[in-house]
Structures are given as C-alpha cells and as structure tokens.
A and B are shown apart, each in its own frame.
Chain A
Amino acid sequence: MTDTLISLLSILIGIIGGNSTGIFFKKYSFGLIGNTIAGVFGSVFFIKSIGRLGFSPQAIMETGSVNSNLFVLNSLVSFCGGLVAVILLSKLAAKFNKSNKIN
C-alpha cells in the first residue's frame, strides 16, 4: 500500500520539477499555477509510461520494503517529467498563442 504514497510523492516531486524549471529558465515559465499544473501532468505521464521499465511505485514496493535505488530513480524521472512538461508546453503555447501566462 505504500506504493500509493510513493505515487503521490512522485507528483509532488514533479511539481517541484515544474516550478524549478520556471525559476531557472524564466523564458519557459507559465507562472506558479501553470508550472504546478504542468509538473503534475508531466510527472504522472512519465511515471505511468517510462515507469513501466521497472521503477513504478509498485515495482519499488515489490519485495515488501522500499527499494531505495528505484525510489531515487523514480523521483528523478518525476522531476524530469515536470521539467520536460513545462518546456514542451511553453513551446506548444508559443505556437498557439504569443502571449500566454497562466498566473
């Protein structure tokens, strides 16, 4: 059951990833709200798809205790999910509309 908690932690890390991207790469930022939303969907997408390679929340808890290596990998991928989502969305938004800022 701890895998459910890990999936929530992944999303929080994705939110941090999305907002960190917004802070360090201002040209991609959507503001706090936009970066947070992008972070959530980016981390969910990455973990649901790439996580199947062996570091999904279920795989982390497969032996009954937390596999810390897989957990770190999961966290890194979640962070990257948030980061990539902000960058991709900002490029997409730029194509759609010249002045979008969700804050």
Chain B
Amino acid sequence: MFKNKNMEDMIFYDRLQFAFTITFHYIFPQLTMGLSLMIVYFKWKYLRTKLEKFNNAAKFFMKIFAVNFTMGVVTGIPMEFQFGTNWAKFSELTGGIIGQTLAMEGMFSFFLESSFLALFIFGEKLMGQKLHLLTGFLVFLGSWASGYFILATNAWMQHPVGYEILENGKFVLNNFSALFSNPWLLPAFLHNQFASVVTSSFVVAAIGAFYVLRNKNMEYGKLFLKTGIIFGFVSSIIVAVPTGDWNAKNVAKYQPATFAAMEGIFETEEAGAEIILIGQPNMLEKKIDNKIAVPNILSFLTYQDWNKQIPGMDQFKEEELPDNIPALYYSYHIMVGLGTIFIGLMGLALFFLWRKKLYTMNTLLWAIMFAFPFPYIANTTGWYVAELGRQPYLVYGLLKTVDGISPTVSSGNTLFTLLGFVGLYMLLGLLFLVLVGKTIYKGPETQTH
C-alpha cells in the first residue's frame, strides 16, 4: 500500500511539474509564432508602400519578439531536462521516435530562427530592404517549423503511426514519412498556428488601443489596431472553422472516449447527440448538472447527420476514459467559449473600423486592450484538452503514463525542484514584464531612411 501511495505521489508531482513548466513556457512561443507572421506583413507592406511607419512597426514588434523568444529559450531548457529526469522510462522507450522530431526542431528550426533573428535586428543597413524582408521571413519560417516538429512529436503520441515495438518494449520508427503524414498532424498544426496568430493579433490590437486611448503614438496606435483586428478576425474564424472542426472530427474518429468526455456525453443517446453549451459534470451521478444543451447539433457538426449516434462514456471501460473528466470538460468548453467571444469581439471591432468610428469608441477600445490575456488562456486550455484527453496514456493506447515516469526520482525531489521553478519563473516573469512594458511604453522609434 505504501508503495502504491508513493507511486501515485510520484506521478502526481511529475505531471504537476511538467504542467507548470510547459504552461509557463507556452506563454512565449504562442506569441512569437503569430507575431513573426505579422512582422513579415509589416515589412512586406513597407516594401510595397515605402511608408516608414510599416518598417518601424516591423522593427518595434521584432524587439518584443526577441524578448519573447529569449524567454522561450530559457523556459524551454527545463522541458528538455525533464524528459531525462522525470520521464526517463518514456524517453528510453520512445526515444527512437520522438528523438527524431525533437532533434530536428533544435537543429533546423531553432537555429534558423535564432540566426536570422540576429540578422533582422542588426543587419538592415548592411543587407538592404529586400534581404531584410527575407531574414524576417526566415525567422517566421523557423518559428513555424519549430511548431511543426513539436506538433509532429505530439501527433505521434496522440495517434501513433509508422512504428514497431521491439521485444524489449522499445518503439522504433519503421516508416519515416508516416511520422509527417500522420492524419493527426496537419489539423493540429494549423489549429495551433492560427491560434497563435489570434494571440499575436490581440496583443498587437491591445497595444494599438493603449496608444489611442493615451493619445500617444496615434499613427502607430491606429495602424496596430487596424492590423490586429483584421488578422484577429480572420484567424479567429480559421481557428474555429475549418481547423477546430477538423481537429474535433479527428478526436471523434481516433479517440472516441476522449470525445465523449470533453463533450460531457455520459450516456449514449438513441439518435442524435446534443451539444452541451453550459453545465457542470457530476462524476458521482454521471450526468451534467444545470445543463443548457441543443439537441442533435453535435451529431450534425461531427458527422453532418442529425441522427448519427455518438458513443457516450457509458460505452467505454473505466480505464479507457481520461482520468480527470471535469478538467478536460472545462478546458474544452473554456477554449470553445473564448474562441466564440473572439470572433464576436473582433467582428464588432471590424464593423466599427469599417464605419470609421472605432478610434473614438473608448468602451470598445478598453475592451480590446483588456482582452489580450484571453487568447493566452484559450491556447493554454486548448493544450490541456489535448494532454488531458490523451490520459491515461502517454502514447495513446500503447504506453500508460504510469509506465513512463522515472522510477528512482522521489516525489520529494520533484516537489523541491517544482518550488524552485516557481520562484525562478516568478523572477523571469517580472523581468519579462519590465522588458516588454518598457518597449511598449516607449513605442516604435520613428526612423527614416
């Protein structure tokens, strides 16, 4: 019994530490991936129009990008360590596969991104404008390639393909191309990347709203608002349809138990599943309390058939279901709810931008300014859905989480380092806020050629 309790503690603290460090880490790349696209847009726009404000905007956001990128590097280091320290069995068994994609992420995308970031910051005068745009594009390419390799790793864990298991239990790759043509990968990648564009759009629009409300840097305030709102509206829609829809269909197809849990379907309905908008999972009585639901919609959205039956959680064995159904259900509903609000807010802002009233509508500007943390929440809960939904497995259907931890690392040791991370990350977080706050407060430098 003591051994079992100790094992439970080890899994709990290993998972808690990974959850904390990855949640903090993901604050940074989700902005850099989206922001790199917007920087390329500003630079491209400058080359087309020769208006200095676009070039200054590109350089201003590259500074914010550089701070985020640096923080992403710092907070990414513990992730790399944890594969060896906390998840040694997982690394030992699956290293032959996930090692490929993770190494490619480091070798190709990280170096591409960091090298050309330095050239973008320092090399404008030396290279000229066209090459400067090219370096910006390569930074964008590096950051998106980084996302692609990480998603390829995660897609394999969600839906393993192209592997065989040796007698000693180790996974080896027998089809390299299958790793990158995994049906889980493309929808997950596109959904993730456009969700990061939503984050960056909201940040750009919020900075614009801040300048307009303060009546400072008005030219840039208006530019950032307009660009942020257009990018934000388009990307918010793409995140919902087609990429979000495509992802949900993949979950329904490859992880039906997860789909039932995240949608809160406890009992299978005879014909046509309802979609639950609001409600609280009651795990004792296995039902949703106080629910507001729309009949048959879930069947239609998933299979384009109003009466198609969707298996509920009653169709699966207890051990096949995710181990924290309420957390999964709430994460999914928070993500979807916020995504819907983003479309509404950006749609409204776009309407008033078109009517040429936006810059004088202080209430809406305040709403845009204070809305920027919510895409971070939606992105993070989106990742929680993916990770909680895969439980109790590390590699879906093949390797349980309990079999992937390091058997010799005590829970006390993990807790100690977790507390250390919390302290150090607080310091880093403060430093990040000071650096980014200073940059935003100062505003873009108005350089001319």
Contacts and interface: CB of A to CB of B under 8 A. Distances in A.
Interface residues of B, number: 35
22 contacts: A1-B81, A1-B85, A1-B417, A2-B413, A2-B420, A3-B81, A4-B82, A5-B420, A5-B424, A7-B77, A7-B81, A8-B74, A8-B424, A11-B77, A32-B438, A33-B66, A33-B438, A36-B67, A40-B70, A92-B122, A96-B122, A97-B125
Contacts of B125: 96-98
Chain B contact residues: over half helix, strand or loop, or mixed?
helix
Q: What 10 A-B pairs have minimum CB-CB distances, sorted nearest first?
A: A4-B81, A5-B420, A96-B122, A1-B417, A97-B125, A1-B85, A37-B70, A96-B126, A93-B122, A8-B424
B438 A100 contact: no
Contacts, number: 85
A97 B447 CA distance: 14
Contact of B122 (A7, A11, A100): A100
B421 interface: yes
A15 interface: yes
B70 A36 contact: yes
Contacts of B121: 100, 102
Interface in A70-103: 92-93, 96-98, 100, 102-103
A37 B117 CA distance: 12
Interface string A30-63: 0011001100110010000000000000000000
Interface string A19-36: 000000000000011001
B15 to A, nearest CB: 15
B427 interface: yes
Interface in B40-72: 63, 66-67, 70
B96 to A, nearest CB: 23
Q: Is the interface of A mostly helix, strand, loop or mixed?
A: helix
A18 B82 CA distance: 27
B86 interface: yes
A9 B423 CA distance: 11
Interface string B404-434: 0000010001101100110010011001001
Nearest to B75: A8
